[in-house]
Structure 1
Amino acid sequence: LTKEINPDIIVITGDLIDSRRTNKDNMNIATSYIKSAVDIAPVYYVSGNHESRSDLYEELKIIFEEYGVINMDNTHKNIQLNGVTISLLGLADICFNPINNYEHPNSPFSFDEILGNLKTESKNNFTILLSHRPELITLYAKENIDLVFSGHAHGGQIRLPFSGGIIAPNQGFFPKYTSGIHRLNSTSLVISRGLGNSLAPQRIFNRPELVVVTLSNE
């Protein structure tokens, strides 16, 4: 399906593995998709909370690098799409930092300062941020990020007609940010429901999805 879409770039916003289920015997589920994806388009990746809890993450990073995946954890990169310069920014998941104050254990900077520094590097370019957590939309809007891709909520796991998702990590019951496009000030947040499960072993009325976004300079 990804090959049929023929994207310019592929972005992955974390939780390619399940820290409770992924092991050396089955982590090829994640690596095989990545290996096929890099043959289609450049792949940009940031970590999620499951990577932060997995002993396999360091090994996976080496494999991804060998495949040509570009790890965007706490870094930025300018890319050219159809003659337009876009600043691609990435944030490592906050589980790599104490969650209460977002302080990075190996850095004097706070989580919002890391994003602020990345935004400064982007100058006046159109900015795309890869960040696992949709519930931090206020922080993204504060830095005037143009477009954010995130996941984490798994579509609310169980979806009810006209009500949306039932539960999501870090948002609790009846969460606001589980899928679709949300806007705050000049920031647009695109949330993927993803392909896997989270708090429960099944999804109900909650189809997995690959999100396709078309950018226009109109």
Structure 2
Amino acid sequence: MKTGAKRKLEIKTWEIKTDRLKRTDGSLRIVFLADLHDRLWGEGQEQLLEAIDSLKADLILGAGDMLVAKEHAVKMEHALLLFEELTKRQIPIILSNGNHESRMRQQPEKYEHQYEAYAGRLTSMGVRILSDEACELVHGSSSVKIYGYEMPLEYYHKLRQPVYKGEDLEQKFGRPDEKHFHILMAHNPVYFDTYAAWGADLTLAGHLHGGIIRIPGIGGVITPQVKLFPEYDRGFFERNGKYMAVSAGLGEHTVPIRIFNPPQLILLTIEGVA
């Protein structure tokens, strides 16, 4: 196995305070991964593993595109290696699907049984995959609800950005209650306002690779849908008390360049104030 060239990895940390969690429960530390695209970070994923270990997470969440899905040429071995090593840390790992995993799952005529092979290997390691599913995580005396949303593929087509009002979200998950802190893993960040209006306290997204090329003071230049100057390219956003973290991603594909746009690992700390 070739060793990936060592490169800069940006680590970003953001803090959220919420009355949905109890102050006495202490902070919930979440390492957030997105858009690995099967990149190898040093021999055995050593560089990335060391960075994750340094963040001392309680939970690892991944919002999709861990692999590269091309017809009859899926690349997944480096992603599987990462999660095989992470499961040795005895930290819960929960993933959702991005557009690459979704098209593998939804288009078996093109990808045959590759999604089942990928998901099966992850599940056998103890990784939880949420595909239009939700699960509950107990944190002290409080509760966090985590949703893995698989957005319909039409919202990923190039040169188009369909209107999205969230009916699909409500049909799949209902409406969030007031008792939990709700984390929505939704790969495409473009529709943050809709996610927030639905009731996601925190949305985790990626997909836009930070805009690929960034202009200082302006932001990302272009998205995978070939839209110029996206609003939610990378970073931390807030709307009426709802938050979204958008990862610039840990890898690339198709256009393997980054300018003023380093790969990114994110730590989110959620503190209760109730």
TM bucket (normalised to shorter chain) is 0.7 to 0.9
Q: 1:133 to 1:110 in 2, by over 3 A?
A: same
Offset of residue 215 of structure 1: 0.7
Equivalent residue for 2:6? none
**How far is the alpha carbon of 1:139 from its aligned partner?**
1.5
Who is 2:170 aligned against? 113
Name the SS of the counterpart of 2:199 in structure 1.
coil
Contact 2:95 2:129 in 1 (8 A): yes
Is residue 197 of structure 2 the alignment partner of residue 142 of structure 1?
A: yes
Question: Partner of 1:169: helix, strand, or coil?
Answer: coil
Match of 2:67 in 1: 17
Partners of 1:33 and 1:128 in 2: how far apart?
A: 23
> Counterpart of 1:27 in structure 2: which amino acid?
M
- Structure 2 length-normalised TM: 0.69
Q: Any conservation in 2 of the 1:178–1:193 contact (CA below 8 Å)?
A: yes
Q: Helix, strand or coil: the match of 1:61? A: helix
1:154/1:198 contact within 8 Å kept: no
Contact 1:157 1:198 in 2 (8 A): no
Q: What is the rounded CA distance, in whole Å, between the counterparts of 1:97 and 1:167 in structure 2?
A: 16
Compute the displacement of 1:140 (Å): 0.8
Q: CA deviation at 1:83?
A: 3.2
Q: Choose 1 or 2 for highest CA Rg.
A: 2
More strand by proportion, 1 or 2?
A: 2
Cα RMSD for the two superposed structures? 2.5
1:110, 1:126 → 2: CA distance? 21
Question: CA separation of 1:181/1:98 partners in 2, compared to 1, >3 Å: closer, same or farther?
Answer: closer
- Match for 2:76: what amino acid? M
CA distance in 1, matches of 2:218, 2:156: 32
Aligned to 2:77: 28
Q: Distance in 1 between matches of 2:181 and 2:127?
A: 22
User: How much identity, in percent, do the aligned residues show?
Assistant: 28
1:17-55, Cα deviation, whole Å (9 max, x unpaired)? 11239946x521110011112222111101011112332
Q: SS in structure 2 opposite 1:53? A: helix
- Conserved 8 A contact 1:78-1:88: yes
- Relative to structure 1, the CA distance from residue 78 to residue 134 in structure 2 (aligned partners, 3 Å threshold; closer, same or farther) is same
Structure 1 Cα separation of the partners of residues 66 and 153 of structure 2: 15
d(CA) in 2 for partners of 1:31 and 1:173?
33
| 1:1-218 superposed matches below 5 A | 1-20=51-70, 23=73, 26-40=75-89, 41-54=91-104, 55=111, 56-95=114-153, 110-114=167-171, 116-117=173-174, 119-120=175-176, 122=177, 124-170=179-225, 172-218=227-273
Spell out, residue by residue over 1:114-152, the C-alpha distance to the aligned partner (whole angstroms, 9 max, x if none). 3551x44x5521111111011111221111211111111
The alpha-carbon deviation at position 10 of structure 1 amounts to 0.4
**Structure 2: distance between partners of 1:33 and 1:96:** 30
Cα separation, partners in 2 of 1:187 and 1:198, compared to 1, 3 Å: farther
The separation in 1 between residues aligned to 2:242 and 2:179, in whole angstroms, is 15
Count of residue pairs the alignment pairs up: 209
Structure 2: gaps of 5 or more residues:
1-50, 105-110
Which whole-Å deviations, capped at 9, do the CAs of 1:44-88 have from their partners, x for residues lacking one?
101011112332222111111101111111111111124321111
| Contact 1:43 1:70 (8 Å CA) reproduced | yes
Q: 1:78 to 1:12 in 2, by over 3 A?
A: same
- 154-163 or 85-94: which moved more? 85-94
Distance in 2, Cα, partners of 1:167 & 1:140:
22
